[in-house]
Amino acid sequence: MGFFSKDIKTMDDLFLHTLQDIYYAENKIEKALPDMIDKATAPELKAGFEQHLGETTSQIARLDQVFEKLGLEAEGVQCPAIDGILEEADEVAGEVDDDRVLDAALIAAAQAVEHYEISRYGTLIAWARELSHSDVADLLEETLEEEKATDTKLTELAEGSVNASASS
């Protein structure tokens, strides 16, 4: 789907495009998380990433359900935004020597991912409601709550211990 060929004509097309974007993003995140689990040192951070990997897998299954409810094939469309966020995370992590500083960098990267997801799901839920897909909106709402909870947990970890130990 290219913007120059003007494949997005209606609000339904735009909704579908954005759904495919987050489907691609969730799949990329699922592939990136094992590496972040490996790199994390603080046990609570490792455990938090592990939990979110499980959630991400079920979020992908939830998106499969969304496509099914809409009578559409589940497929992704390349999302340069998430590619960029993950690429930058990898680059920065590769430059950090100290394990505790690396934990702070991993949290910062993970929060950039969560904020991207929160933004996308917020938009999708509003559009789904507008397009009278309230059952789809309810499913997406469940995922949004998980993304927000993950973001809050990451803030608590950073401000509770990781930033201080990285700075000492």
Provide the binding-site residues for Fe ion, judged by CB under 5 A.
26, 56, 59, 117, 147
Q: Kindly list the distances between the CA atom of residue 1 and the CA atoms of 5, 8, 76, 77, 79, in Å, as whole numbers in the listed order.
A: 8, 8, 11, 8, 12
**Which residue, 103 or 117, has its beta carbon nearer to Fe ion?**
117
Calpha distance 52→47 (Å, rounded): 9
Reference 128, options 119, 141, 142, 117; nearest CA is: 141
**Which residue, 57 or 99, has its beta carbon nearer to Fe ion?**
57
**Which residue, 57 or 78, has its beta carbon nearer to Fe ion?**
57
Minimum CB distance to Fe ion, residue 159 (Å): 19
**Which residue, 53 or 96, has its beta carbon nearer to Fe ion?**
53
Minimum CB distance to Fe ion, residue 117 (Å): 5
Minimum CB distance to Fe ion, residue 147 (Å): 5
Minimum CB distance to Fe ion, residue 48 (Å): 11
Helices then strands (H, E): number in the chain?
6, 0
Tokens of 99: 């394990």
